[in-house]
Structures are given as C-alpha cells and as structure tokens.
Structure 1
Amino acid sequence: MTSNSDESQRKPIRITSLSKQASDLSTLCDIPIALIIFSPGEISPTIWPNEDAAKVIVTRYLSNTETEKFKKSIKLETYLSSKLEEKENNIRKPEKRNKEKKIEITFNRLYEGKVNIFDLDATEISELLNLSALAQDKLEERKKQLEQPSHTSQPPSLLSHFE
C-alpha cells in the first residue's frame, strides 16, 4: 500500500517523464503537442510546455474542421492490421524457403533412390510436380535464350565510310 507522501513524490517524476516523451514525439513527428494534466485534489492543472503555448495549440486544434482534425490521423485498426500483415509476411518468407528446401531434399532423395515414390503422400507428390514444372519452365526459358542469335558487335568496315 502506498502512502500519500510516496504518491506525491512520484508525481513530479511521472510528469517529467511524460513531458520528455511529449517533447520527443513533437520533435520526431513535427507536430505541436500540449499536455494539460488534471490531478485529483489539485485546483490548477499542470501544463506543458507552458500555458501560453498550450492555449495556442488547443485554440488552433479547436478551430479546425472535423475533416482537418482527422486528415493526417490513421485509424489504430488500420495501422495494426498493416503491422500484423507485415509480421505475417516476415513469417511466411522463411516458411516458404523451408518448404522449398524440403521439396528439394525429397526430390534429391527420390533421385538417389533413397525414397520410393509410393512412400510419398499426395501433398509431397503435388509439390514435386510443381517443382518439376518450375524446372521445365526454366529449361524452356534457357533454351529460348540459347536459340536466339547472339548479337556480337563488329567494328564498322573502313570501306563503308568511302562508299
């Protein structure tokens, strides 16, 4: 249980910490910030950075239309959804690489005769077929590249300038 004196001693530390965070946020986001803190049992609020600056910030905010007030704001749900999607993508990338490696290992073991095709389940066979299709596409692409005539640049003939 905390006594009132303990609470009164911690209050200035919390306000100082909150003021520092507000200052950092204001600097990083290039936005005006004012703190008006009403504490129980006190007549006047604690104001940061000072009363005049806070009045200007609050007046400017209240003079804006609703559209202007929310123009730059991002809904928390939208922000969190984008962060969640980003994290899920970061998880999917290694999972995809692991899956591809597993298929490759299965293919190599099958090629080396260490695994019988009849020991594979439907998912593994389907993945091997997809791997085979990708390999076939790469071979076809390479074949097209090799069939195209190479364009080696030859120096212009000296006779062509005199004709």
Structure 2
Amino acid sequence: MTRKKVKLAYITNDSSRKATFKKRKKGLMKKVSELSTLCGIDACAIIYSPYDNSPEVWPNIMGAQHVLSEFKRMPEMEQSKKMVNQESFMKQRIAKASEQLKKQSKENREKEMTEVMYQALAGKGLQNLNLGDLNDLSWVIDQNMKGIYKRIEAIKKGASTSSSSAAAAPQVAAERKPAVTGLGLEGMQRTQAEWFNDWMNNNTSEQQLGFGHGNEMIITNFNNNHNANVWPNDFFP
C-alpha cells in the first residue's frame, strides 16, 4: 500500500506539529548519518527548535565546527552555487508545475481535436467550431497526414528491399550451384567411354585382346590384375 502524499503546508495544530517535528528530526539525523557513512563525506546538521533550549547538533559540536570552517574557506560563489531559500525554492516549484500544466494542456487539446476529426469523418458538421478550433483541427490533420505519408514511404521502402532480395536470391543460388548435380544417362555413357579410352591407352602393353568371328569366343588375356573391376563407378559392378 502506497503512502499518502503529505500536503506541504504549515501545521496549525500545536500537538500535531510538535509530534511531526520530533519524527522528522529523527529521520533527518538518520539520513545525514547514512549519507556521511555510505559516501564518505563530511556532513553536519544543526537544528534549532522552540521545543528545546539548545540546538541539536550532529555528529557533535567539534565535527560541526570542522565542517563549517571548511565551508567558509570556499569562495562565495561556490558557497551559494546550489543554495536556495524559501522564495527561490517556491519559484522553482511554480515554474516546474507551469511547464507540466502547459504540456498536459497541449496533450488534452490534441486529443480533443482528434476526436473532432473522427466525428467529422463520420459525417458530423463543423459549423460550431470557431477560428481557433479550426486552426487546431488543421494542425492535427496535418500531423496525421505526415504520419500516413511516412508510413507509406516505409512500406514502399520495405517492399523494394524485399523485391531486390527476391531477385538476387536465384542469381546467388545459380552461382553456388555445382557444375554437375547428376550424371544422367548421357553423362554416364560419356564418363564410361572416357575411362575406357584411358584404360586402353595405359594398359595396351599389359593386355592382348582377341576377337573371333562367328561362333568363335572372344579371347582376352590380362595380366595379374585380371580380377580387377572394369567400371569405375557403382552403376556397373
């Protein structure tokens, strides 16, 4: 459960204000101690209140005097560089709130004119709009048209990129395609003929081929490798 936001205003009730002071003072001292320990910096806190006769000092009087003396050695411009009083703090808060209000008003006006634009597209007339409303409506329409044109250009660019990639894909595939993907019948016959010619040229001195006529048998004398397989591939064992 989130904590309820506290209204930053003076507490008029005495008892409530005193209880808040004690609680906030304790928390402030704890935060200063944590800041000094975790970040290794010199810090001090001095709190005056109408409820105590003497101020409360952290970590102690000597430590506070050391920090203050170091601060006074700094140039005056450096001392007041990040300081704010109540007036300057409130001015900063007002300027920030005004900027947020301006931004939110612009967003609300844009949404309002967008709704008017959709109503006009549905057939509702624009007779009740004044000159300022028409100018704002024109601005909203221009912004929407710019978004539409930008989207169209993006789609065209994506389509052209896709078509270029699709056209380049067959060319790349053709470049990577092997020179011979399959022998086929003609390829196998040519390979067998080339091998047979090479075999005949390289082994004429080691073999004698005799051819008969009619019913005579073909006589073939081989060397010691007569049991070797003739065809060089698995298609003809």
TM range (shorter): 0.5 to 0.7
Does 2:138 align with 1:129? yes
Aligned length: 146
Distance of aligned partners of 1:112 and 1:33 in 2 relative to their CA distance in 1, 3 Å threshold: same
* Matching residue's letter, 1:129: S
Residue from 28, 48, 71 that aligns with 1:21: 28
Give the TM-score, by structure 2 length: 0.46
Q: Which one has the largest radius of gyration?
A: 2
Determine the structure 2 residue equivalent to 1:3. Answer: none
Determine the structure 2 residue equivalent to 1:89. Answer: 99
In structure 2, the gaps of 5 or more residues are: 1-17, 180-237
Give the TM-score, by structure 1 length: 0.61
Structure with bigger helix share is 1
CA displacement, residues 74-122 of structure 1 (integer Å, 9 cap, x when unaligned): 44466544433332333334322321221122222222233x2333211
- Contact map agreement 1:48 1:54 (CA 8 A) in 2: yes
Q: Structure 2 CA distance, aligned partners of 1:53 and 1:98?
A: 54
Determine the structure 2 residue equivalent to 1:159. Answer: 175
Residue 130 of structure 1, CA deviation = 1.3
Tell me the SS of whatever aligns to 1:117.
Answer: coil
Distance of aligned partners of 1:74 and 1:57 in 2 relative to their CA distance in 1, 3 Å threshold: closer
Residue from 61, 74, 78 that aligns with 1:51: 61
Identical-pair percentage:
15
- 1:1-163 matched pairs, under 5 angstroms: 18=25, 21-25=28-32, 27-28=34-35, 31-35=42-46, 45-46=54-55, 48-49=57-58, 50-71=60-81, 73-76=82-85, 80-114=90-124, 116-148=125-157, 149-151=160-162, 152=165, 154=169, 156-157=172-173, 159-160=175-176
| RCO comparison, higher one (Cα < 8 Å, 6+) | 1
Q: Output the aligned Cα RMSD.
A: 3.9
Which range is displaced more, 61-70 or 93-102?
Answer: 61-70
Q: Structure 1 CA distance, aligned partners of 2:23 and 2:97?
A: 34
